[in-house]
Every structure is written in C-alpha cells, then in structure tokens.
Amino acid sequence: MTLLTSFFLQLPFMPEQASSFAQEVDLFYLALWGLTVFFTIGVALAAGIFMIKYRRKRAGEIPEQVEGAMLLEITWTVLPFIMALGIFAWGAKLYYQMYTEPKDALEIFVTGKQWMWRAQHPDGQREINELHVPLGRRVKLTMTSEDVLHAYFIPAFRTKADVVPGRYTTTWFVPTKVGTYHLFCAEYCGTQHSGMIGKVIVQEPSDYQAWLGGGTKEPPAAAGQKLFASLACNTCHYEKSGGRGPTLVGVYGTDVKLDNGTTVKVDDAYIRESILNPMAKVVATYQPVMPTFQGQVSEEQIANLIAYIRSIGKQDGDGGTAAPAAAAQPAAKPAAPAAKPATPPQSGAKQN
C-alpha cells in the first residue's frame, strides 16, 4: 500500500510550470475542473435524495402540486449567470495577455515542415527540432508552414499556436526555469505526425549568448540583402524613386495606396503576398508587371527578405536614403521580400 501511495503521489498530473503564463493557466483550468466536480456531485446527490424522498409510496398516489417558487427560480438563474460571466472575464483577460504581442521581445522565426521544426534566431543562428531561449526574457515566435497545418505546442509553457501555410501566426512566452522541455506538433499533419517532436532549451542569459557565439551564421537581414540582389529585385526597386517598382526604403510599417484606391499597411504578411502573388495588391501609379516568385524562394528566404526590407533606413528629405542597417540590425521577424524582385528586364515593380 505504501508503494502504491508513493507511486500515485509522484505521478505528474500536469507538466512542469516553466513560463510566466503557466501558473494562471493552471489555476484557471483547476477552477473550471472544480466547478465541474462541484455541480456534478451536487446535481447527482440532489437527484438521489429527491428520488428517495419523493418516490411514490403507494399505488394510485397523486403527489401534491407545487405552483412554482420564485426565489428558487431567481437563484438558479442569477447565480449560474454570474459565475458564467466571471469565467468569461477571467478567460478573456488571460487570452488577451497571451495573445497580445509584447514589446522588446526576442523574435525568432519558426518554420514547420513535414516532419520537423526549423528555427532562425535574429543573428542568423539556425537549429532543427530545438529552440534555445534565454531565461527571463520575452520571446516572440513568428511562425509559418511550408506544407500543411501544424501546431507549435510547449506544454511546460502552456502555449500552443497553429502554424498555417500561407500566413504568419505568433505566440510568445517568458521562460522562468532553466531546463529542457518537450516540444510537440499538436495538429495531425501526416503519417509521421507523432515523430514531429523536439525540445526547448532554456538557458541562463550568459549561456545563451555563448551558444549563439558558436558556429558560422549570417544575420537574416544580410542574407536577405544578398538574395534581393541575386533575384535582381534592385533592377526595379531603386533606393530612390524612378524604378519600375516603388522604392522600399523606409516603407516597412507605413500605409501605401493601391491602384484600386484602398490602402494597406506594409507588414510581414503584405510583403510575403507581394513576393508570391504580386498581382493581388498593386501599388498606385505602378504597372502590374512584377513576376511571381512562387516556388522559387523558401519560407526561410522570404523571412530573410522581409528582415532586409525592415532594416533599410528611412528616406531623408530629398528622397535620398539613410544607410541600410541590414547587416547591423537583423530583423528578428520572418521576412518576405516586400520589394518586388525584378527578374526579367520587363519585370515590373508592383508592391503588395
């Protein structure tokens, strides 16, 4: 009996709490579980008592008719309503905290692919089926998939987010314990779905910096700048205006007017769409001549292009350009060449 008791006491009924969200998520879950148990037992006991107390005691017995009880009806309507509102408010608060993008976060780009996870850090360090992060720092993951729907799930952090082909999704967390934690794909993605696993390694900040220092790497913005040139994007997108496509200097984060009269914000999703489907949103005053790069660039290369476009300095007063910060300020966000790469001489400069 002692051995059996000891075994059950050591069973991990919940994963380790290793992020700033974990404790409140568990508390919310336990509150829901407790309410469920309370009302299940309460209703079962009440039903049992009423069945015994008010059972028919003799054949032909006609029970006394009760014409309502206003206080009882108000009670069982108002109290559950208040509890439901409380649960909603608590859950909405927690959801808002978990899905509001943080400021000053370490941004890491993650790509899901059957059946592996690829991660790229701001300085260019890459890893497969592993994610190294520093203790106590906000970490934001910007994710996409190269094939089918996946889900990035770290049980110890209580974070899970869908990884969707054709778009970017984000999640974030603050690791609170040094250690190694499980990483799963929580969305069935094919025959080897169960093998799409990995680990998240939380390190002291000094150890994380030492890990970043190992190996050869190239910042995403620098890699994006080279790719931008190799795809001949600079033949249409000049540093100054006058090219077949709009200048990309200082354009990230701004609103641009399209040929249909609407405006769109230049962000990661817009840049990615402009690279893969340049006819979707053409910038006003420019011709829809940009070729598509669908199938020619990978998600990681798109991320590098976006990082480069984000790093380009702002335009000065006379239309000149501040020196690009591509190599010095690699963007930690996934990128897509919002700049319309120009390939053939006639390739147009349409910006998404």
pLDDT band at residue 7, thresholds of 50, 70 and 90? low
pLDDT at residue 3 tops 80: no
End-to-end CA distance of the chain: 69
* pTM, full prediction: 0.69
Which of 14-18, 112-116, 156-160 is the least confident region? Answer: 14-18
Q: Which amino acid is at 26?
A: D
Q: Is the pLDDT of residue 200 over 90?
A: yes
**Residue 185 CB contacts under 8 Å (≥ 6 apart), including other chains:** 112, 115, 117, 150, 151, 152, 153, 193, 196, 197
CA–CA distance from 38 to each of 44, 171, 204, 225 (Å)? 10, 34, 43, 61
Residues in the chain: 352
pLDDT tops 80 at residue 201: yes
Residue 216's pLDDT band (boundaries 50, 70, 90)?
A: low
For residues 247 and 242, the model is more confident at 247
Tell me the C-alpha to C-alpha distance, in Å, between residue 347 and each of 252, 266, 335: 22, 21, 21
* Per-residue pLDDT tens digits for 318-351: 333 333 333 333 333 333 344 444 434 333 333 4
Domains, the chain, in order of start with CATH, read 106-213 (2.60.40.420), 218-352 (1.10.760.10)
AA letter at 339:
A
Q: Is the pLDDT of residue 174 over 70?
A: yes
Tokens of 242: 């006058």
| Least confident residue range of 130-144, 165-179, 276-290 | 276-290
Higher pLDDT, 352 or 49: 49
Residue-wise pLDDT for 106-120, tens only, equals 999 999 999 899 999
The vertex-110 CA angle with 109 and 113, nearest 5°, equals 145
Query: What pLDDT, in 10s, does the model give residues 41-60?
Result: 999 999 999 888 888 877 77
